[in-house]
Structure formats: structure tokens, C-alpha cells
Amino acid sequence: MKQQLEIKNLSVKVEETEILKDLNLTLPRGEVHAIMGPNGTGKSTLAKALAAHPDYEITSGEVLLDGENVLEMEVDERARAGLFMAFQYPSEIPGVSIANFLRAATQARLAEDEELEATQFYKRLYEKMDMLQIDRKFTSRAINEGFSGGEKKRNEILQMAMLEPKYAIMDETDSGLDIDALRIVSEGVNKLRGPERGILLITHYQRILEYIVPDHVHVMWNGRIVKSRGKELALELEKRGYDWIKEEFAEPAAKA
Amino acid sequence: MATTQTPDVDIKTDIGNFVYPEHHKYDAGIGLSEDTINYMCEVKEEPDWIRDFRMKALKTFLEKPMPTHWASKDLEAIDFDKIRYYLAGDQKPSRSWDDVPDDVKQTFERLGIPESERKFLAGVEAQFDSEAAYSNIKEIAAKQGVIFVGSTEGLKEHPEIFRKWFGKVIPTGDNKFSALNSAVFSGGSFIYVPPGVKVSHPLQAYFRINAQNFGQFERTLIIADEGSEVTYMEGCTAPKFDTATLHSAVVELVALKGAKIQYITVQNWSDNVFNLVTKRGMAHEDAEIRWIDCNIGSRLTMKYPGVILKGRRARGEVLSIALANDGQHQDTGAKMVHAADETSSNIISKSISVGKGRATYRGLVNMPKHLKGCKNNTECDALLINTNSRTDTYPAITTRGDHNSVQHEASVSKVSAEQIFYMQQRGMSEGQAMSLAVNGFINDLAQHFPMEYSVELKRLIDLEMEGSVG
């Protein structure tokens, strides 16, 4: 069986509007793929549909995680199967510390009669925090409550480090970050790259790809992947913008 | 979001839901009359003054109307003629678990009582239907002169203390259900802590209802003499029956000069139980009474723990958490009656409504005009999980005069679908996600609770939220 996340002919509707149309994409483990495209083209829809957000209705297609169809699975089952999404706008959970949140998420991955061993958990948590250069005081703060944009994104990366997903979908992780925060978050992602993990980096700007160099770049337009090439495609987009894509792939109806 | 509960909850997800066959030695029959009281007085071998007290209370109970003009109409569903008022095995509780009948012992073992006793308690009383099956106090506390027995034993063996305070904090006619309890009370604890004695570990009572169509009416009286300190914990469960079960307790606390009483309730009733309880304490000069009251389960709970701040600088506190799941109504709150200068009170109430569950907060804070330097702080926070939930707040704060201060804050928040999605994306089930949100909501309050209690509370919330997801 191939160790890859395979999206086949995926179509997705949101409130009766079709956003993704027959989208195809394959993300093997060990690779980083970037999805770029103008606003409103369906990039975040792809992320949320993969994670089984209840507002996104899948009308056709398949998503195979290491050969297993995940479309039959609930949100939490997909997560436990190894699919992680770094949120563009992560929710606040008042009163729940980062440590307790991660304990609950880690506990959820154990067998029903198995109890999480607290000292081991904290040892691992502190190792990951040291690796990502996150201050240990951070763990007692309520999750995302009063966090700056950069802190929210670092928290997402910390969760990814702890949960060790097979596939991580990073939804506009660079949005709202200043240049220093972008560098720190990118360093975190780079540390989590490896043969055991596929990363799908969704972004509007080329800038983050200077820090996280992708193996492949896909361009999305109007609910489809319209171009897939190496990392040089990102630079071309940076130079030329998205207009030439729009022109090249405009719907025949729109042309007329 | 699906919120219907499965009718056959398996034992793992609902810890108190199991039942043993009935074989009571003493049974007062169905319905309530003078005969019921005569039967009880005889088998319990009670003195005449108690018989008179009970008979008067029965009259008061029958005269008083149901408080449906302000409380839930659901109270009308209680059929007093179909309830059994007294069911008991042996009259004398055992001092050793070895002497407790097997089925009763197994009941409490399944509920973890003997284990907690070994671990962290100074004394335990375990009530099965109308009477205590087990009652024991550890030697260290007994040597200090601490009395911890059932109410029947208390009134017979220690009348000089019992009679002085019994029915003084909560008079029979306080409300219809305090009158009912006064007529047919049985079981509950009597505690006396001598001057200056600080009981280092909590005393615990566990109230178990096993019988169907039954009413449990325990009566608890705790007296902390001058400068003494005691913590009392009570736990309650019942199996899930199709018919209504009634639990109507009266709890009176007296904290004499400089004494401290902390009273902790962990209630986990099945959702056929009407839980109508009157709890009040009287705090003398420099004394402190704190109620920690956690209401999980039941069909309808009406409970407003109160403190009468009788002496100068007395302090009263109610910290309460109510979780109203589908089909449940938690009507809870607090009463603070300031009756002396420089008294202070603090009420923090957190309620959680799930599905069609309904949570109501009722508060009463009274500060008369002639008092000086009194303070009250009231905080009511409500959390709604899904849009059908309902929450109401009725804070009645009466302050007169310019020399007192009150502070009131209320908030309502919701657990959004986005929050649940976020937590589920991290691998938690819907029930685990809701449970985590609830635990976060009560976190700042639960931090003030004793550790064993916080752990138990978290476990109960986890079970309740697991069960609320269809």
C-alpha cells in the first residue's frame, strides 16, 4: 500500500454552491507540497473538507489515507487516523490550558482502558517545546485566549509536534504573521518535516516558501488544481501574479 | 447535535445505575399518614418528643401548598400516595464492613466508599434506603471527642446537644419539603466537633437509594463548637427506574464562635429522582460556613444552600456547579442572610445546560439597613451547549443603607460548533470535547475544591457528557 494522501475527483459544496470541482492531488509522505492560488478559489475549503468540517458537503470523489477511505470517518476518527489540520483561525477554549488540551488529545489516542502517564507526557511536551523554542510558561495559558497571531500559530505547530500526524494540512499558517513570527513558525515546520510525514502548505503568498522550501507547488484556480510543478513555480507566481492563471483557465462561459 | 440518551446505559458509563433485589426487614408501606409515623417511631424506638415533632410536621406538610406559583410545575408529578416512606434492614449500623450484609457491602464497594475511607477519610457513614448500614469514625477523631453517628443514634445518645440545635436553623414550616422531611426523616448524620478540635480529614456520608417508588429523607445536623474545624462530604446515587424517586433532605449546620464548616456535596442522581433539599447554616461570630455544591443528574433539583450570618464578622460562601443534561432541570442557587455587622458572603454559581437541559439560578442576599460593613459578591456564569439549552437567573439582592456593599456579575457563554470541531480535529470524540469545554468553564472554581473532590467531579462530568452524545 502506498503511504500517501490521495485526493481523487473531489467535489465539495458549501450551502448549495459548488466550491471544489473534481480536484485531484496526491501527497506522499516525506514530501512538502504547497497549494497557492488567489483568494476565494477554494484553498481553505479543501483543508476543511479534508478535516470533515460539518459545513462542507462532499458531493463526489474519494480521499484515501494510506489506502483507507477517510470520507466515511468522523472528524475525530480522521484525526486519530493521522490527519492534522493547522487552523487559520484556531478557536479559544476558555479555562483549558494548553497542557490539559494536549493531554485530552493524547489520551483520546490511547485504548479505552489505558491511562495517560503524566510524567512521560510532560517529559515529551517539554522536549517538543524545547525543540520549538517555546517558553514552558506557555503551557499553563488557556488555549488561544488572548494569544497574538504568532502565538496562535506556534501553538498549532506545538500541537502538530505532539500529535505527530502522518499528514498535516496547514491552512494559511502564514496569514497575520509579521516577518519574525513567520520565520519562527517556519523553523518549527521545518523541524517537523521528515520521511514519516506529508505536509500540505496552503498559502496565498510566496513569502513563506522562502523559509519552507516545498517539493512541489500546485496552483489552484476555481476549485481545481490547474498547474503542478517544482518549487520554481512559486517564484514565477511571485513575479507574474495570478492574472495569467486566471486568463489561461477562465471558464469558457466567462470568456464569452 | 444529537442529545438523546440511550435508555439502557451500561454500567461503565453510568456508575450508580445498578440495583440489588429488595429484602427489607422494616417497611412502613405505601403512602403517608399518622400510621406511617407511628410505625417509624416504634421500630426506631424514638422518644415521645420526636413523635410529637413528626406529627406536627405532618400537619404542616399537608397544609402547605406546592410552591408551583414560583417553581416548576413538574413538582405536580410527585404522587405522595404512591411513595414508600421507610424501608430499612437492621436498625443499628455496623462498625465494620465485614458485618454489613453482602449486597449492601457490594453496593458501596462498587461506589468506591471503603476504598476512599482507607485513603483519605476520618469517618464514613453509608446509608442504604432509610437507614445507615455502616457508620464508623477513625480512632484519632473519636479520641478528640468528635461525634459522628446517624441522626437516630444522635437524638437518642446525645439528646443534650441534639435537641438544642435540631430544627433551629431550618424550622419545620420553612417550606413544604422541609415539613415533609421533619415528619418522616430517617438517617443522615449527626456530627459534633468539640471546641478547638480541627478534624484533619473529611468525614463522609454516602446516600444510596436502592428501592423503587421510594422516598429518602435523611436529616443531617452538624455542630462545630467554638474554634473547631470540620469538612464533611456527601455523595449520592440511585439506580435508574421508570418511576419517580423522591429525595428530600434537610441539612442544618451550626458554626459557633470562630468555627469553620466546609460542606461538600457530590450529587449524581439518576434522572428519575426529584431532589428537593433544604440546606442552611448558621454562622456565629467570626465563624465561617462554606457550601461546595455540585449538582449532576436528577429529574428536578431544587436546592439553595444558605448561611445566616448571625455573628459579627461571620463569613458565608456558596460555590456551586450545576449540570443540566437533556430532560433535567437544575433549579439551584444560594441564600445569604446578613444579620450582623461586618459579615461577608460570596456566591459563585456556574451552570451548564446541555441539549434540552435547563438551569435556573435563584439567589437571595439580604442586608438590612441597620447593619454596617457588610459585603456580598455574587457571580453567576452559565454555559450553554447547543441551542435548545435554557438558562435563567433570578438574583434577588436586597441591600438597604449606605454602609454595605454588593457586587453582582453574570455571564452567559456558549460552546460553539467551531470549538467542538477544533477539539475533534485533535482526536477527541464529541463527548470528550464537550467535557473538556465544561471542565474549562468550571476550572477557576474547581481549583478551590479539595483535590479528591475535583477528581471525582471531573470523572462525573466526563461520564455525563459521554452519555449526552447520541
| pLDDT given at position B457 | 87
| pLDDT given at position B110 | 84
Contacts of A98 (CB under 8 A, 6+ apart): A138, A139, A140, A141, A143, A155, A158
- The yes-or-no verdict on residue B162 having pLDDT over 50 is yes
Transcribe A27-58 into DSSP letters.
EETT-EEEEE--TTSSHHHHHHHHTT-TT-EE
Per residue in A109-120, pLDDT (tens digit) is 998 889 899 999
Q: Express as a percent the part of chain B with pLDDT over 90.
A: 63
Structural domains counted in chain A? 1
| pLDDT given at position A251 | 64
Q: Is residue A119 part of a domain?
A: no
Give me the phi and psi of B245, to 5 degrees please.
-115, 145
Least confident stretch, A229-238, B222-231, B296-305 = A229-238
Q: Is residue A140 part of a domain?
A: no
| B413–A108 C-beta distance less than 8 A | no
Q: Chain B residues with CB inside 8 Å of A75's CB? A: 421, 424-425
Q: Is residue A206 part of a domain?
A: yes
Which B residues in the span 411-470 are in contact with A, Cβ-Cβ below 8 Å?
Answer: 413, 416-419, 421-430, 432-433, 436-437, 439-444
Strand B245-247 to strand B260-269: parallel, antiparallel, or no bridges (unpaired)? unpaired
DSSP bridge partners of B221: B190, B252
Q: Is residue A16 part of a domain?
A: yes
Reduced 3-state DSSP string for B302-360: EECCEEEECCCCCEEEEEEEEEECCCCEEEEEEEEEECCCCCEEEEEEEEEEECCCEEE
Q: Chain A residues with CB inside 8 Å of B418's CB? A: 91
Boundaries of domain holding A28 = 4-95+166-255
| A93–B422 C-beta distance less than 8 A | yes
| pLDDT given at position B15 | 67
Q: How far is it, in rounded angstroms, from Cα B159 to Cα B192?
A: 12
Mean pLDDT in residue range B327-349: 96
Q: Mean pLDDT in chain B?
A: 90
Mean pLDDT in residue range B89-109: 86
Task: Measure CB to CB from residue A93 to each of B417, B437, B444 and give the nearest one.
Answer: B437
Per residue in B167-192, pLDDT (tens digit) is 999 999 999 999 999 999 999 999 99
| Comparison of pLDDT for B62 and B455, the residue scoring more | B62
| B442–A76 C-beta distance less than 8 A | no
| A142–B427 C-beta distance less than 8 A | no
| pLDDT given at position B419 | 96
Size of interface A-B (CB pairs under 8 A): 77
Per residue in A159-187, pLDDT (tens digit) is 999 999 999 999 999 988 999 999 999 99
| A74–B421 C-beta distance less than 8 A | no
Interface check B10 vs A, CB under 8 A: no
Per residue in B357-391, pLDDT (tens digit) is 999 999 999 999 999 999 999 999 999 998 677 78
Least confident stretch, A57-71, A223-237, B412-426, B443-457 = B443-457
| Comparison of pLDDT for B466 and A197, the residue scoring more | A197
Give me the phi and psi of B298, to 5 degrees please.
80, 160
Q: How far is it, in rounded angstroms, from Cα A10 to Cα B382?
A: 42
Per residue in B383-419, pLDDT (tens digit) is 999 867 778 888 888 877 778 899 999 899 999 999 9
| B426–A93 C-beta distance less than 8 A | no
Q: For residue B132, which of B183, B192, B204, B80 has the smallest C-alpha distance?
A: B204
Q: Is residue A245 part of a domain?
A: yes
Sorting pLDDT into bands at 50, 70 and 90, what band is B132?
A: confident
| B419–A91 C-beta distance less than 8 A | yes
| pLDDT given at position B244 | 86
Mean pLDDT in residue range B116-140: 86
- The yes-or-no verdict on residue B467 having pLDDT over 80 is no
Q: Is residue A194 part of a domain?
A: yes
Element (H, E) at B297: strand B288-297
Per the structure block, which three cell numbers stand in for B134? Answer: 455502616
Q: How far is it, in rounded angstroms, from Cα A199 to Cα A190?
A: 10
| pLDDT given at position B21 | 79
Class of residue B53 by CB neighbours under 10 A (exposed 0-12, middle 13-18, buried 19+): buried
End-to-end CA distance of chain B: 8
Q: What is the CATH number of the domain that holds A59?
A: 3.40.50.300
- The yes-or-no verdict on residue B449 having pLDDT over 70 is yes
Q: How far is it, in rounded angstroms, from Cα B281 to Cα B170?
A: 9
Least confident stretch, A76-80, B212-216, B302-306 = B212-216
Q: Is residue A13 part of a domain?
A: yes
- The yes-or-no verdict on residue A205 having pLDDT over 90 is no
In the chain, the amino acid numbered B272 is N
Q: Is residue A143 part of a domain?
A: no
Q: How far is it, in rounded angstroms, from Cα B357 to Cα B424?
A: 23
Sorting pLDDT into bands at 50, 70 and 90, what band is B106?
A: confident
